[in-house]
Each structure stands twice: as structure tokens, then as C-alpha cells.
Amino acid sequence: MKTNINVLNVLLFLLLINFSSSAHPTGCSYDGTLTSTGLYTCDLGSYTAPLAYSSFSSPLPQRLKITGVTGTFTSQLSGFSSFSTGSFDANYPASLELECLSSNSLTLSSVSFTDMGYLQEVKFSFCNIVSLTSGMLSPFGTLNSLRFEGGSIASYSNSFLTGLIVEPVTSTPEPKGELVIKDCTITPTSIPAGTFDVLTTVKSIRVENAGVTAVDSSLYNLAVAVDDVSLADNSITTLDSAVFSSLKGLSDINLDGIPYDCTCSSLVFLQSLSQNSIRSAGPICNTPAAYQNKKATKYYADSCDLSVSCADIAIGSTCMTVYELVGSILSFVTLVLAAIALVIICHTRRQLMAATSNLEKNRNSGWSKAKDAMDTNRSIKPPMRGSQAVHGWG
């Protein structure tokens, strides 16, 4: 029992050190129980604005959460431009979370985040944002993650991301490069062209359960580095056949929970997903009635003529471009010509070998005949002269 009391006293002492070692403004609390770089939580109605960087120390506010956010969020942060990235704990990203009162609205301006260029991850939770205008988020500079979770965005410009870079930040413990809008209703519900044009280095774009009814066919045209796309749990009923065609590195797409109107023309993009080994979830058919709540791939396989669904040239179960078809034909012709050339070479070689063999035989035969003739000539005695014949000389 005494041992347990001693252990408890030690833990309380350590907690006291953690809480007493940090300096922070009134209205903010510090939680450092699990890490040396703890989380500062400040309640908007409890601290005196602006929240000054200089009022934090030991550790510096690398991770900051502001709760009770409502009304107009301007002149709320001061001096944070002094935060040096050299002061970061590499085990955690430099982050800011604004947690709003869900029943109220939040008004942002172009100067709301003027001093916050040091941040690596930003999250808006349960915020009913009145408007996101062009360049409003540009003071953040480069972000590893930008998330809107819960709440709503009553209005947004298709250039609200202008001046912002979202990409994997290698100095963070988990490089992400993600834009996430989840459980956050957005207006307009049809995402217009150009909205994601500045996200040329983003890796993941997930707009889930955001009340989206349609997306422009060119929405992802310039987001060429994306490998993960999600439009799950939205009210989209159809997608343009080329909406994902520019995403050459796409590996995952989530269209689950979409009440899709399944037709052969609206499912052309499935062919590209299959050809490029892209993992996909959904969509699920809402119409026609015979395929309601069934996978779109089932409808596609049962109902669609490949020659119709294939945007190029259909050969059996394969969809090929003109260039691929010409390349295949040329490869086949080259193979045939190579085979013919090989046959000719083999035949010619055999003929040459036969001719060489015959020549060798003829040469050997001629030599044998010549040798036999020479041997025969040696065995014949020369004719006797007259005196030899008379006297019988042998």
C-alpha cells in the first residue's frame, strides 16, 4: 500500500512539473502529460485578444487549439510570425485547430491568419463559415494538411485556395499533402471549374458528405499529382467520362454512398479505372430500378457494349487507343518479318553447309584419285631398251 502511495506521489509531482513549467496566457491550458511538446488549448471567450505569441513559453505553442470560436475572427492572433521552424519538435507538425460553436457562424477575412505562415497543418472543426474568398487562406503559405470537418461553408470562390500550396511536407512526421472537406456542407453544391487548379502538388483530395451534387468535368485537370480522390457520401448522380483522365498517378478513388444514375455513358470512366489498376469503392446504382443498390460495375458488365463504353477502339474485352493499336500491329508485323528472316537464315545456312560438305567430299575424292594414279604410275616398270632385250638384262 505504501508503495502505491509513493508511486502516486511521483506521478502527481511529474504532472505538477509539466503544468508548472509552461507559461501561457489566462484562458489557455497546457496538456503535456504525454509529450514534451504538449497541446495548448485556448478558449476564445476567456483570453484577452489578441492571443500573443510572446505570452507562451516552455514549450512554444507549436500545437495550438482555439475553442469557442464564433463571430468575426480577425485580430485574434499576434506575433506568431516570430515562430522559427528551427524551434519545432520534429515529432509533431506545427498545427492550428479552430473549434467553433456549432450553432453560430464564423466570419473570416484576408488578415485572419496574417502571422501564421509557420503552420504545417490547419483544421476547422464544426465551423459555419460565412464565406471563403479569393486568397483568404494564402497567409498559411504551404500546408501539409488542410481540413474542414463538420459545420458548413455558406459561400466559396473557385479561387479561395489561390496563394496556398498543399503538398507533402517532408519535415513533418507524416507527409500527407491533403485537402479534406468532410461532413461539412458546401455552397455552391456543384463544385465549379478552377476550384482545385492551384493544387498542382496535392496528393489527396477528399470531399466527403459535403452535399455535393455535381463536379465540373475539368475539376481535377491541373491537380496532376493526386493519387487519392474521394467524393463519397455526396448526392452526385453522374460524372463526366473524362473527369479523372488527367490523374495519371491515381491509385485510389472512393465513390461509395453516391446514389448514381447508372447508364453506359455515365460509367465510361470505369473502363479507365480497370485498365489502370485503380482501386475503387462504389458507386452504387440508384437507377435503373433493376440495379438499385447494386454495384455500378455489375450494371456495366451486364448492360454496356464495350464498343459503346470504350472511348477508343474496342477489341474483345480490351479498349485500345489508335496509337496502341498501330503499335500492336507494327509489333506483330515485325515479329512475322523476324520469323521469316530467321527461316531464311536457317535455310541458307543449311544450304551453305551442304555445299561446303559437298566441296570437301569432292576435294577429298579428287585427291584420292590423284593419289591412286600416282601409286599406279610407280608400280609400272619403264620399257626395256633394245640391248637389254637382246641380252636379257633384267
Task: For each of the domains in the chain, give its residue range(s) and CATH number, in order of start.
Answer: 18-309 (3.80.10.10), 312-348 (no CATH)
Note the pLDDT of residue 352: 86
With a cut of 60, say whether residue 318 has pLDDT above it: no
Q: Average pLDDT, whole number, for the chain?
A: 86
More confident residue, 207 or 1: 207
Q: Which of 36-40, 86-90, 318-322, 331-335 has the lowest mean pLDDT?
A: 318-322
Q: pLDDT tens digits, residue range 175-201?
A: 999 999 999 999 999 999 999 999 999
Query: Which uninterrupted H or E stretch holds 107?
Result: strand 105-107
| Single pTM value for the model | 0.73
Give the residue with greater pLDDT, 232 vs 86. Answer: 232
Return the closest-CA partner of residue 199 out of 241, 171, 227. 227
pLDDT at 109 over 70: yes
pLDDT-derived band at 355, boundaries 50, 70, 90: confident
Region 103-111 average pLDDT? 93
Would you say residue 308 has pLDDT above 60? no
Parallel, antiparallel or unpaired: strands 28-31 and 39-43: antiparallel
Mean pLDDT of 227-243: 95
Q: What is the CA radius of gyration of the chain?
A: 41
Q: What is the mean pLDDT of residues 327-333?
A: 88
Task: Convert 308-328 to b/e letters by CB count within 10 Å (16 or more is b).
Answer: ebbeeebeeeebbeeeeeeee
